[in-house]
Amino acid sequence: MYETALEILNKINEYGYKAYIVGGYPRDIYLKRTSLDIDICTNATPKQLKEIFKESVLNKQEYGSVTLIYKKIRFEITTFRKEIKYENNRFPVKIKYINTLIDDLERRDFTINTLCIDSSGNVIDLLNAKNDLDNRIIKCVGNTKKKIKEDILRSLRAIRFATILNFKLDDELKKAIKKYGYLLKKLSYYRKKEELEKIFSSPNCQYGLNLIKELDLDTKLELNNFDNLVITTSSLGIWAQLDVMNLYSFSNNEKEIINKIKEALPKDILDNKVLYQYGLYICTLVGEIKKIDRTIIVCKYNNLPIHSIKDIDIKADQICNLLNKKSGPFLKIIYKDLETRILNNDLYNEYTTICNYLKQKY
């Protein structure tokens, strides 16, 4: 990916324009972290980029950005710009193309995201990013209050970077986030969830939660039950405790899992029927919230006499033959009965034993 990106830079250079890898990739390489995305900035305008790369897509021309699939790898290429005016404390509604790298870097959020790499692989540090990376601190580029106020998403991005990288927030940045936290109510729940998801999914999640609390953002983000939150190995276990389903958007699969976690929470997850009904994944998440040793849950689950209806040692046609009946709704009732008795250890899951039971009862 890196070599391919350098090819793109060189191609842009061949047409007389400047181009650099910028942002997350140079930062992560400096920190010796794996990075999967490469963003490119250039003084070539979107239309000029389109002339260089015929296959590029001008889907974000209003923000001075094009998408390029080059050698099956996706790149975002953004024209040097100044953001003249913001709307709703989030969106730049007026931009101006510029010709110098330093002016483009000065519009960015945090110094740690301003490292660049040129077409020869040289690292360019115009805003002292390396110093802040070495000191493991997150600072805004330029006026901190202005940066946070003009785009309130930056407050969550700051916490996300601090969480993932285990960095501290600069004191001025903390003050600005605290001061303008109320503006988060203007931010879409989709964008808030996107950032929170990355915080909740981090191995360093507790640090991120502590920052959210310290900066008084839990109430601004409408995160209920925040003080009693227990970290789980899946972010869905965290979302299930926050009671925000009526505010934040979730996929159908996420909703299903969250609802099952909430349903199972008041129940005894070491009970055979509960383990069987909700399965190992849900029960281990509930166990984490209730601080029940995972190994106990796994052991209990593995020792269940059945894990699904398919494990019952008699088939539907065998039941029909045994009872001399045609297939019908009665089978569902019988299987439910067998499930309950087997899980309660009242009936041994073995064909002959089951047949004897069915002949006696039905």
pLDDT of residue 49: 86
CATH 3.30.460.10 domain position(s) in the chain: 1-135
- The amino acid at 236: L
Q: Structure pTM?
A: 0.84
Q: Which helix (H) or strand (E) holds 14?
A: helix 2-14
**Over residues 197-201, mean pLDDT:** 96
Q: What is the pLDDT averaged over residues 176-194? A: 93
Q: What is the rounded distance in angstroms from the CA atom of residue 20 to the CA atom of residue 116? A: 6
The pLDDT of 88-112, averaged and rounded, is: 79
CATH 1.10.246 in the chain, residue ranges: 310-361
Nearest-angstrom CA–CA distance, 141 and 129: 10
Please, which residues bridge with residue 168 across strands? 137
What CATH number is given for 136-223 in this structure? 1.10.110.30
User: pLDDT tens for residues 320-337?
Assistant: 889 888 888 999 999 999
Q: Which CATH class is domain 310-361?
A: mainly alpha
pLDDT in tens, 23-42: 899 999 999 998 888 999 99
DSSP secondary structure of 289-328: HHT--HHHHHHHHHT-S-SSGGGSSS-HHHHHHHHT--SS
User: Phi and psi at residue 242, in whole multiples of 5°?
Assistant: -85, -15
Strands 19-22 and 39-42: antiparallel
The string over 152-182, giving b where at least 16 C-beta atoms fall within 10 Å of a residue's C-beta and e elsewhere, is bbbbbbbbbbbbbbebbbbeebbebbbebbe
Mean pLDDT of 178-201: 94
Q: Boundaries of CATH 1.10.110.30 in the chain?
A: 136-223
- Residue range 1-135, CATH number: 3.30.460.10
